[in-house]
Chain A
């Protein structure tokens, strides 16, 4: 019974992710991506990580994917782009990658099922306080590094987003 609480969102996540990679309309794909992220957030919650679940929604779904949508809207990907997608996405294109991914899937399942202590189950709740205590003590350096990374990304995005980059191309 308990497993259903896990497998229902998991199934939703897998299904919506499959839809993400098959949609031709970017906006629709993004909505499915949000659904996928939300179901993963539910899985997090089920696994006893409520803080991560909240962050998943707030940052992943609430900020990162919004940025995607923002860009999709800025580029105004309308019907022409959907037609172009269907030109790019011929059915034959799926064969090779699908074979490769299936092999990888078999390998992964083999590895995961063959894990030595397969019977250990999850189930402990780890609240925000525990996470915070751990984050700002042994992982302080990682926090600093993440800060550096974000600052670098900020500067990089600012630079890349400027219009003069394209003008420089002209001789």
Chain B
């Protein structure tokens, strides 16, 4: 099942997803929403890779997507551990509470 879709349409959708994710990162203060937005952004990157791979009929795009997947899994595992720690320490999920690393 493969349908002919102009590649720039897919890229536009990927860009839209990416920007929505970015908007989420910029607006939300809750760290969980932030992480969700990050997932959206990574997913959009994966979509762009898949589109590129599909354009050339090459499996490389899917492989890149799998690597992104591994990255996302690793990131979520660590980030959720951090979320638990932050919620225990600061008793809030506000990312700005954890801004001790300022210059």
Contacts and interface: CB of A to CB of B under 8 A. Distances in A.
B81 A97 contact: no
Contacts of B82: 160
Nearest to A85: B30
A165 B2 contact: no
Nearest to B69: A59
Contact of A6 (B10, B24, B37, B50): B10
A87 B84 CA distance: 22
A13 B70 CA distance: 22
A2 B3 contact: yes
A64 to B, nearest CB: 5
Contacts of A89: 27-29
Interface string A1-18: 011011100100110011
B2 A47 contact: yes
Interface string B1-14: 11111111111110
A159 B81 contact: yes
Contacts of B36: 20-21, 29-30, 33, 68
Contacts of B98: none
A40 B63 CA distance: 16
Contact of B2 (A3, A18, A125, A142): A125
Nearest to B57: A124
A143 to B, nearest CB: 8
A120 B7 contact: yes
A-B CB proximity, top 3 nearest:
A160-B81, A124-B57, A48-B2
Interface of A: 2-3, 5-7, 10, 13-14, 17-18, 20-21, 26, 29-30, 33, 36-37, 40, 43-52, 55-56, 59-60, 63-65, 67-68, 71-72, 74-75, 77, 81, 85, 88-89, 93-94, 96-98, 100-101, 104-105, 108-109, 112-113, 115, 118-126, 130-131, 133-135, 139, 142, 146, 149-150, 152-154, 156-161, 163, 165-166, 169
Given A131-B63, A134-B59, 6 more contacts: A5-B3, A29-B36, A56-B69, A64-B39, A75-B87, A123-B5
